[in-house]
Amino acid sequence: MTPFVEALQGRLPGKVRADSAALDTFQTDGLTAFHERPLAVVFAETQADVVQAVRLCFESGVPFVARGSGTSLSGGAVPVAGGVVIALNKLNRILALDPRARTCVVEPGVINAQVSRAAAPYGLHYAPDPSSGPVCTIGGNVAFNSGGAHCLKYGMTANHVLGLKVVLPDGEVVHLGGASLEPAGADLAGFFVGSEGLFGIALEVTLRLLPKVERYATFLAAYKSLEAAGEAVAQIVAAGLLPGAMEIMDRLAMDAAEAAVHAGYPADAQGLLIVELEGPAEEVAAETPRLLALLKASGAYRTEVARDERERALFWKGRKSAFSAVGRLSPEYLVQDGVVPRTRLGEALAAIHALSRRYGLRVANVFHAGDGNLHPLILFDAQAGEAARAEALAGEILRLCIQMGGSITGEHGVGLEKRAYLGEQYAEADMDAMLRLRRAIDPRGVANPGKMLPGGPGPAPIGEPPARA
Amino acid sequence: MTPFVEALQGRLPGKVRADSAALDTFQTDGLTAFHERPLAVVFAETQADVVQAVRLCFESGVPFVARGSGTSLSGGAVPVAGGVVIALNKLNRILALDPRARTCVVEPGVINAQVSRAAAPYGLHYAPDPSSGPVCTIGGNVAFNSGGAHCLKYGMTANHVLGLKVVLPDGEVVHLGGASLEPAGADLAGFFVGSEGLFGIALEVTLRLLPKVERYATFLAAYKSLEAAGEAVAQIVAAGLLPGAMEIMDRLAMDAAEAAVHAGYPADAQGLLIVELEGPAEEVAAETPRLLALLKASGAYRTEVARDERERALFWKGRKSAFSAVGRLSPEYLVQDGVVPRTRLGEALAAIHALSRRYGLRVANVFHAGDGNLHPLILFDAQAGEAARAEALAGEILRLCIQMGGSITGEHGVGLEKRAYLGEQYAEADMDAMLRLRRAIDPRGVANPGKMLPGGPGPAPIGEPPARA
């Protein structure tokens, strides 16, 4: 045990583990593409524990990364070489919920879905709904500016975080933003959201709650081609409708979902569009015939509407389980998270299809079509030596997104996986501005180094030994 | 003429003025509470002109401030002592408008209302609607994260800026955010919005456009007390309605507006609530009876609904002209811009009323009630020696907002006027984080120093000679 770990245990007795079992457990995250054994794991029980750990790390120049449920899909929660993991799962209290002001103050280890459950008795809910909602934490949602199917209508996590109490990388505790919708000065809370752990650790998050939706109407529309489904999305938005969610699945994704959960998706469609209208009952009733007409005009040869809540849940179950279901079709898969302008969806899908053929690898497409957020799942077999080819294909898809004026990440973050591509999306001066801000906040570079921004050593891909600095 | 000004003229021939007429014109802004003659005024015609001017300022350590229409109500556009004003009014081109993607790229000197006019043929509009919309510029809106009556439903400027091309204080040109709703990494575009000119000058702004509203229904509700009108707002929101706007005026503000524009406001009310429902026709039709019932239950003794677009415009004209109309009641007035939690509006209004009596100064209240954004107008007569008393009262109102968990600014910014109070709203560590970020972006402190953040010399209040460092 190093003197640093001894000092850490001295400050936080009984809350620090450095045994093999603990270190092994924390060596990777939901992406499972990178691994790195940490020096130690701090199981923080209070905000003060987190501050203590960060201060000691800063003083000693030891890197750290905060971790909630570890569901990151970009490697953001993978330990830093020679660094500490600060586990926040025990910081799971809802500290306040003000139904009149519609705000809620939570610790970072609170589970996403727990917020809506706590708000439900007051007729409120928390809008961002990542597929991992039942397990992922608010702290992780803040770090990656998480989205979800319904972020089309309500925006990402950044739109729902009003204020933050944060421990900066040097151990200073600050308040960013506040409970007000109209903060004074630069939007520092917004600046922190999406910073992937590089600007410190959130200790408290003030969330905006919204009234529960009165009525949902959930539609399935079957298309003969995936591109047609993509075009339909642009047409629906252009017509002035703003559904709560618009999701697309291709044939491969539908096959996987059908095999896993029997969602009742049409067996002969090449593209499936799920559209959910939501709002006051009168609005939904008025929009329903307009939407059906648009779906028909866009080439849907079959449409279905969920007859009850059970059927609605089934439609969604297929979509939400698609990632894991794809695991049935292939020994491994890579999930990507690129964004293209909504108006170029059809074009992007055709290009991905062409790439898939060129690389000889199957790609399943499941995505938040309404905001152009693609989730291509690249199926491969590492045993058959396809891993490098799959990664190359993933890289081409990201470059395609950049070229089309989109982004390399919609909601999963840059993390480890895509940090090499950030410099392709942004110019050198843009990157330099980010690095300057990062140095101002973290002069010693201890907060999750090697993630999001390029440079510095990173953990190794699974199957290879970790690279050392 | 100083060598610096000569160098500036050499780089930007015919675009720099340093004559008395020009310098006098630019010495104050819409607040008219502070003045300072600049060293020179640059009338930039191209983005390259702005970059040139900023680079020379940075090299020479000369401070600068960008200026659009100068409608700042916090002194944000007042020149810095010994500094340059960079006027952006000629950078007034709409560079792109993509109706399918619903985005618009504009130069900073484009007038707010011009964006909606350009978008109108496509059935779109730009949502933020400050009362100064017909004259204020998008660059100024970005600097101060401007709001407006309809920001209750649609959010502030920050919610509508997708990307920015910016010249940083050191002359580096960077792109922040992008056309995507889901930027990668920390939200640097959001960070820039509201930074009041301290992080550089926007050269291009990518704005989000929204579909034009199908139907409006505009209501006046008359109350016997201002507090009751305030309580009604919280009740309407708690009932799950989200009107496009909810504005309140007190008796004094109504009197002023009536005298100025004959809006037809009830002559016997102590509080007037203007509520505007907006959305699809079916939704507005369904919400109308619910709203009327809520207004009645909250104590409105009289309600009116605008019968046509002409009457709607008249209702709004009274509200939008209230600031200038108050000028008829008093030789001078100070307008404040504090925010309190919506649920404490009634309490805040009662406290302001008590302060008004204690200070022996009339306060007219006109405000964005839906988001708790107060605009108390403090009436005073400088000739009668009331200026200092008015300022002290304004300060007490700001402290009241801070104590109630609100903010010292809703939409006018901190500027010169409130920089002394920012340190009361935020703790020292919070302020230190802001200063660190500022130093990272502007190591020489040339970008609008003396604004927003405390410290450094500021221009003098009108009637006093400027303070010198």
Q: How many CB atoms lie within 10 A of CB A292?
A: 16
Question: Where does CATH 3.30.70.2190 sit in chain A?
Answer: 213-320
Structure tokens, A57 = 């790390």
pLDDT tens digits, A297-339: 999 999 999 999 999 999 999 998 888 888 888 888 888 889 9
- Residue of chain B with shortest Cα separation from A76: B185
Identify which of B213, B250, B211, B210 has the alpha carbon closest to the alpha carbon of residue B230: B250
Structure tokens, B69 = 């229409």
Q: What is the pLDDT of residue A126?
A: 97
Mark residue A321 as left, alpha or beta (left: phi above 0; alpha: psi -120 to 50; beta: remaining): alpha
Q: How far is B126 from chain A (nearest CA, A)?
A: 15
Question: For strand B124-125 and strand B103-106, is the pairing parallel, antiparallel, or unpaired?
Answer: unpaired
pLDDT(A469) > 50? no
DSSP code for A411: S
- Cβ of B433 and A188 within 8 Å? yes
Cross-chain CB nearest to B195 (options A186, A198, A414) = A186
pLDDT tens digits, A389-411: 999 999 999 999 999 988 998 88
- Cβ of B406 and A285 within 8 Å? no
pLDDT tens digits, A111-137: 999 999 999 999 999 999 998 899 999
- Residue of chain A with shortest Cα separation from B439: A440
The helix (run of H) or strand (run of E) holding residue A303 is strand A302-305
Question: For strand B84-87 and strand B64-67, is the pairing parallel, antiparallel, or unpaired?
Answer: parallel
- Cβ of B372 and A180 within 8 Å? yes
Mark residue A219 as left, alpha or beta (left: phi above 0; alpha: psi -120 to 50; beta: remaining): beta
Q: What is the pLDDT of residue B311?
A: 93
The single-letter code of the amino acid at B359 is Y
Alpha-helical segments (H) within B239-386:
251-261, 281-297, 309-320, 322-326, 345-359
Name the pLDDT band for B469 (thresholds 50, 70, 90): very low
- Cβ of A123 and B240 within 8 Å? yes
Cα–Cα distance for residue pair B465/B35, rounded to 1 Å: 9
Structure tokens, A184 = 């004074």
Structure tokens, A45 = 């029980």
Cross-chain CB nearest to B174 (options A279, A429, A452) = A429
- What count of CB pairs under 8 Å joins A to B? 228
Task: Name B460's bridge partners.
Answer: B35
Q: Is the dihedral of CA A180, A183, A189, A194 positive or negative?
A: positive
- Find out whether A253 and A365 touch, Cβ atoms under 8 Å: yes
Backbone angles phi, psi at B253, to 5 degrees: -65, -40
Cross-chain CB nearest to A100 (options B238, B283, B436) = B238
Q: Which residues on A lie below 8 Å from B237 (Cβ)?
A: 102
Name the pLDDT band for A465 (thresholds 50, 70, 90): very low
Q: Which residues on B lie below 8 Å from A185 (Cβ)?
A: 194-196, 414, 422, 434, 452-453
pLDDT tens digits, B411-433: 888 888 888 888 888 888 888 88
Q: What is the CATH number of domain B3-87?
A: 3.30.43.10
pLDDT tens digits, B127-141: 999 988 999 999 999
pLDDT(A442) > 90? yes
Q: What is the mean pLDDT of residues A194-201?
A: 95
> Taking the CA atoms of chain A, what radius of gyration do you get in angstroms?
22
Q: How many CB atoms lie within 10 A of CB A270?
A: 17
Residue tagged 């989205």 (tokens): A147
For residue B235, give the 3-state DSSP assignment: helix
What is the distance, to the nearest Å, from the Cα of residue B236 to the centroid of all Cα atoms in its chain?
A: 25
What is the distance, to the nearest Å, from the Cα of residue B377 to the centroid of all Cα atoms in its chain?
A: 15
Q: How many CB atoms lie within 10 A of CB A114?
A: 18
Q: What is the pLDDT of residue A189?
A: 87
For residue B382, give the 3-state DSSP assignment: helix
- Cβ of A432 and B172 within 8 Å? yes
Alpha-helical segments (H) within A327-443:
345-359, 387-403, 419-425, 428-441
Q: What is the pLDDT of residue A110?
A: 98
For residue A432, give the 3-state DSSP assignment: helix
> Taking the CA atoms of chain B, what radius of gyration do you get in angstroms?
22
Q: What is the pLDDT of residue B460?
A: 53
Task: Name A255's bridge partners.
Answer: none
Task: Name A85's bridge partners.
Answer: A41, A65
DSSP code for B98: E
The helix (run of H) or strand (run of E) holding residue A86 is strand A84-87
Which of the two residues, A100 and A167, has the higher pLDDT score? A167
- Find out whether A345 and A232 touch, Cβ atoms under 8 Å: no
Cross-chain CB nearest to A408 (options B184, B193, B440) = B184
DSSP code for A408: S
Q: What is the mean pLDDT of residues A158-167?
A: 93
Identify which of B45, B83, B223, B73 has the alpha carbon closest to the alpha carbon of residue B135: B73
- Mean pLDDT taken over chain A: 90
- Residue of chain A with shortest Cα separation from B426: A175
Best to test chain B binding among A162, A187, A209, A412 (most B CBs inside 10 Å): A187
CATH number 3.90.1150.10 is the correct assignment for the domain at A330-421: no
Question: Where does CATH 3.30.70.2740 sit in chain A?
Answer: 330-421
Which of A417-431, B4-18, B344-358 bottoms out in mean pLDDT, i.e. has the lowest? A417-431
Identify which of B28, B6, B10 has the alpha carbon closest to the alpha carbon of residue B18: B6
pLDDT(B255) > 60? yes
Q: How far is B384 from chain A (nearest CA, A)?
A: 33
Structure tokens, A211 = 């009234």
Q: Which residues on A lie below 8 Å from B158 (Cβ)?
A: 187, 190
Q: What is the pLDDT of residue B467?
A: 38
- Cβ of A173 and B441 within 8 Å? no
Count of alpha carbons within 13 angstroms of residue A295, beta-carbon side: 26
Residues 6 or more apart in contact with residue B160 via CB below 8 angstroms: B126, B127, B128, B154, B207, B208
Q: What is the mean pLDDT of residues B38-44?
A: 97
Which of the two residues, A283 and B356, has the higher pLDDT score? B356
- Residue of chain A with shortest Cα separation from B401: A180
Alpha-helical segments (H) within B321-418:
322-326, 345-359, 387-403
Identify which of B76, B83, B96, B11 has the alpha carbon closest to the alpha carbon of residue B41: B83
Q: What is the mean pLDDT of residues A359-363?
A: 96
- Residue of chain B with shortest Cα separation from A241: B211
For residue A139, give the 3-state DSSP assignment: helix
Strands (E) located in B214-352: 215-223, 245-250, 271-279, 302-305, 332-335
Identify which of B85, B65, B62, B89 has the alpha carbon closest to the alpha carbon of residue B76: B65
- Burial degree of A293 (CB within 10 A; 0-12, 13-18, 19+): exposed
- Find out whether A202 and A457 touch, Cβ atoms under 8 Å: no
Q: What is the pLDDT of residue A461?
A: 56
Q: How far is B191 from chain A (nearest CA, A)?
A: 5
Q: What is the pLDDT of residue B182?
A: 62
Inter-axis angle of helices B251-261 and B309-320, nearest 10: 120
Q: What is the CATH number of domain A98-211?
A: 3.30.465.10
What is the distance, to the nearest Å, from the Cα of residue B12 to the centroid of all Cα atoms in its chain?
A: 31
Q: How far is A149 from chain B (nearest CA, A)?
A: 13
Q: What is the mean pLDDT of residues B2-24?
A: 95
The string of DSSP letters for A163-227 reads: EEEEE-TTS-EEEEE-SSSS-SSS-HHHHHTTSTTTT-EEEEEEEE-EEPPSEEEEEEEEESSHH
- Find out whether A51 and A167 touch, Cβ atoms under 8 Å: yes
- Residue of chain A with shortest Cα separation from B409: A184
> Which whole-number Å values give the CA distances from A92 to A14, A47, A68, A88, A119, in the listed order?
19, 11, 10, 8, 15
Structure tokens, A305 = 């509407």
pLDDT(B407) > 60? yes
Q: Which residues on A lie below 8 Å from B156 (Cβ)?
A: 181-182
- Cβ of B187 and A187 within 8 Å? yes
Residues 6 or more apart in contact with residue B293 via CB below 8 angstroms: none
Q: What is the CATH number of domain B213-320?
A: 3.30.70.2190
pLDDT(B455) > 80? no
- Cβ of B280 and A285 within 8 Å? no
Identify which of B89, B231, B220, B207 has the alpha carbon closest to the alpha carbon of residue B154: B207
Which of the two residues, B434 and B52, has the higher pLDDT score? B52
Q: Which residues on B lie below 8 Å from A419 (Cβ)?
A: none
- Find out whether A258 and A265 touch, Cβ atoms under 8 Å: yes
- Cβ of A175 and B427 within 8 Å? yes
Best to test chain A binding among B180, B236, B336, B417 (most A CBs inside 10 Å): B180
- Cβ of A175 and B211 within 8 Å? no
pLDDT tens digits, B329-338: 888 888 888 9
Structure tokens, B11 = 């780089």
- Residue of chain B with shortest Cα separation from A180: B406
pLDDT tens digits, A14-49: 999 999 999 999 998 887 778 899 999 999 999 999
Identify which of A205, A193, A174, A201 has the alpha carbon closest to the alpha carbon of residue A104: A205
- Cβ of B186 and A434 within 8 Å? yes
Q: What is the mean pLDDT of residues A70-75?
A: 89
Q: Which residues on B lie below 8 Å from A232 (Cβ)?
A: none
Name the pLDDT band for B328 (thresholds 50, 70, 90): confident
Name the pLDDT band for A456 (thresholds 50, 70, 90): low
Best to test chain A binding among B151, B170, B187 (most A CBs inside 10 Å): B187
Q: What is the pLDDT of residue B32?
A: 76
Q: How would you label A96-113 residue by residue, b for 16+ Cβ within 10 Å and e otherwise? A: ebeeebbbbbbbbbbbbb
Q: What is the pLDDT of residue B304?
A: 95
The helix (run of H) or strand (run of E) holding residue B412 is none
Q: What is the mean pLDDT of residues A50-70?
A: 96
- Cβ of B178 and A407 within 8 Å? yes
- Find out whether A339 and B184 touch, Cβ atoms under 8 Å: no
- Cβ of B191 and A195 within 8 Å? no
- Cβ of A437 and B440 within 8 Å? yes
The string of DSSP letters for A103-119 reads: EEEE-TTSBHHHHHHHH
Question: Where does CATH 3.30.465.10 sit in chain A?
Answer: 98-211
Name the pLDDT band for B468 (thresholds 50, 70, 90): very low
- Cβ of B156 and A432 within 8 Å? no
Cα–Cα distance for residue pair A256/B271, rounded to 1 Å: 61
- Burial degree of B267 (CB within 10 A; 0-12, 13-18, 19+): exposed
